[in-house]
Chains A and B, each alone.
Chain A
């Protein structure tokens, strides 16, 4: 039953299994284990990024396609939901049609880009996605009458998902059971569901074919696979998943803007998370996203503590000053790629043998 849920793709390493279970338990009970707004924000962000990074890995790790338009699809989903909620009011109907419209638009864009440019060399596809994504980001910031421009959109979501809504008057385990909690569990379960769907896709005959296409497209054609169709379908699926992740973010933040969805910085973060976790394995997305976002959120605090503790040592305390956290994030990334060229998951699985 469990194996079937995981589509037969078990972690295949006891240490990896343990780590994944810890992540799952922490995310599932985050509101109770780590009370506080910041930690809940972080947990929701991790859930959403697991989906986003996994959908990128579907493209990069499984199909071997390099795309720079992933944040565009993420943004399309977020703006779809955001615009629907602004235009037709904070109802579940708006939520549903906005999400659907975002996913459909993402699929159409991906199909067009795919059919237009996947026939030719991989580098050309990468350049086209970069161009389209940049153009889209400019378009969104210019069309401020619709998108709010650089300021983005603030909107209301259905009342049951806001802190104002109280499910139970008393606190349970010292935690308020309010709409924010419901919103978190919406994000959590939707992310888990989307992750399992992707896990199924990569272990389906289609997913196996993608790996063959990645390995040797020439031979894949010679045994009868239409490589362009497979690549295009992978692009579309990955775009739809990214758009759905974007919709989750839009609901969670109650705000959608270029900085939270479309920026090149996020694109690079996604790339780093895939590589750190391990390409070609969706579990890598879980570890990559979790570690990266934890580091992004808490490294500064951690360094603040370290800096104070070492304030007596002159050079060291400057080195670990909180404002240098990006430097250390970079160092961590270089080290992880150096020591785990196949990602954390690749390393853990290899260690088993």
Chain B
């Protein structure tokens, strides 16, 4: 417990002092009653607050309006519930919040003053508009409860949080240079569409979550009693691979995310499978995701938002020759001179 405002305490003391002075001078019953009420009000207010403090708890949940993910520029909702099963009240409780975007590594602090009603507490609907994609987290760190006379404050630690994944906004169809890409696209596209597989198996390994079902080597899995997958190498020289750079610069990263999302949207709407390859600075390897549908794309971005960003604008492209020597060309999405560029880069 701490004294909230010294001046308020002094002011209240002066009020009591004035009442006492009048009582001393007039010896009036009315002034006496008032004086007693003023004096008793202080312990009563503090006591009410102490009891209330024991009962109060905080919960937070998130919602994005019937969708699994939030959308950039759209609203996401966090519901903060201050629960109070007691019959006591506080007119001034403060919630200390931390709001962050984990992908863009931004963070801010906010304090919300709310009332705590009898029995029901209070629920704050906290609509947030994410201007950047990523994972937006709202965390309630503590609650400060003021007594009714606002003389003292009790601080209660709370650790409740909720997150919403915010995907880039859906913009205009992405315009890209198809002529260069189509050279290498046709075979894989056709084979994918026909159900034939012209690729060679490069390696057989254990299943990793995220692997496609069609890559599972069912026969071998049955034998070994563990899921095994076939890593394939396309027989074709050209593949539909998109490699975005996860740059730490906020403006660049926002543009790259938007361009990557739009381009994959456009391409998969054309019925073409896309392979999203991005550089994971944490695991020092590529994360390779096959995308056929919008749901694949959203899930891939949701995973990508957990990655660490880096400074260079060609980090992912640089490692390509070493890690994926078989990759002849890919669509590189990066920033140059402050503008996003998407071009076919040959290794």
A binds B: no
Listed in ascending order, the chain B residues whose CB lies under 8 Å from chain A are none
